[in-house]
Structure 1
């Protein structure tokens, strides 16, 4: 009984649905920024992966030339 009361204190559903508009706008902006950030991180990660692969191939070829 008391748990339901405590949880209901944090819930707020406005009667005027126009109060959802600013929240929807800010959510959309942050979602778009998160998507661009994730794509940026993936792009950088792929470049770093290519550099690491190239370095690995260089080291392996040097070891084969010595052996």
Structure 2
């Protein structure tokens, strides 16, 4: 089993590892941009979610208050 897996890994023709390591620079830059965008999106989603949570809490408190006044 190990020899089959080992030979499969060794003879993967679709993998490309360049000799000139400067070819990694554009990939690193583009990966950095996408990671930054993902982090920014996550923070934005959390901020919007927190804002919606506070609006919902305010609305819930308002409805509870109206129900209390109605029952009195």
Q: Shift of the alpha carbon at 1:22?
A: 0.3
Q: Runs of at least 4 residues of structure 1 off by over 2 A? A: none
- Tell me which structure has the larger Cα radius of gyration: 2
Q: Shift of the alpha carbon at 1:10?
A: 2.9
Report what 2:27 is aligned to.
23
- For structure 2, list consecutive stretches of 5 or more residues without a partner in the other structure: none
Q: Residues of 1 paired with 2:12 and 2:64: CA distance?
A: 63
Q: Shift of the alpha carbon at 1:55?
A: 0.3
Aligned length: 66
Q: Residues of 2 paired with 1:55 and 1:10: CA distance?
A: 57
- Are positions 1:47 and 2:51 aligned together? yes
**TM-score, normalised with respect to structure 1:** 0.84
**TM-score, normalised with respect to structure 2:** 0.79
